[in-house]
């Protein structure tokens, strides 16, 4: 089975420019081309692109996906390295969640302190105008 880039896009839900980007950064191999210079893909590329898409949906960065793809090419190896990559990503997700929770708390505090009066007296505007008025200045 040889399919066009448009069909690969349709089957995987990945847009054509994104497929080209993945090729340019080495996540997808450069495909063979027809005599008319059209890219042609097979089932292996569909599987690989689905792997990449799902990894991106889970928030893995391009470099981590590259590592995972390299490890995936050696099924006989221990999955300890894969586990390390996933744990590293989980730690980053936890850091982001912590920061988002802080942002939520700060926004909630600003809204709760808003007296619903005039804009000139608005606590939200006041806090946004002066970072020092944040409860937690890391934001």
pLDDT along the chain (139 residues), means of 10: 93 97 94 86 96 97 96 93 96 96 88 74 76 63
Q: Burial, 44: exposed, middle or buried (Cβ in 10 Å; 0-12, 13-18, 19+)?
A: exposed
Which neighbouring-strand residues pair with 39? Answer: 33
| pLDDT for residue 84 | 96
| Residue 76 forms part of a structural domain | no
Domain containing residue 35: 5-60
Look up the pTM and report it. Answer: 0.78
- Look at the chain and report how many structural domains it folds into: 2
Q: How far apart are CA 1 and CA 137, in angstroms?
A: 57
The length of the chain is: 139
| pLDDT for residue 136 | 62
| pLDDT for residue 112 | 82
Summary count for the chain: helices (H), strands (E): 6, 0
| pLDDT for residue 127 | 76
| Residue 81 forms part of a structural domain | no
> Domain containing 10 — which CATH number?
1.10.1660.10
| Cα–Cα–Cα angle for 15, 88, 55, rounded to 5 degrees | 20
| Same domain? 15 vs 55 | yes
């Amino acid at each position: 089975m040889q399919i066009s880039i448009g069909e690969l896009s349709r089957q995987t839900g990945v847009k054509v420019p994104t497929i080209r980007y993945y090729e340019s950064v080495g996540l997808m191999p450069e495909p063979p081309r027809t005599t008319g210079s059209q890219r042609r893909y097979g089932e292996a590329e569909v599987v690989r692109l689905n792997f990449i898409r799902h990894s991106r949906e889970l928030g893995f960065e391009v470099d981590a996906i590259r590592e995972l793809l390299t490890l995936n090419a050696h099924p006989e190896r221990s999955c300890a390295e894969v586990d390390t990559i996933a744990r590293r990503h989980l730690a980053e997700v936890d850091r982001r969640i912590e920061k988002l929770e802080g942002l939520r708390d700060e926004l909630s505090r600003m809204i709760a302190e808003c007296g619903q009066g005039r804009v000139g007296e608005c606590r939200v505007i006041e806090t946004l105008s002066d970072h020092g008025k944040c409860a937690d200045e890391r934001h």
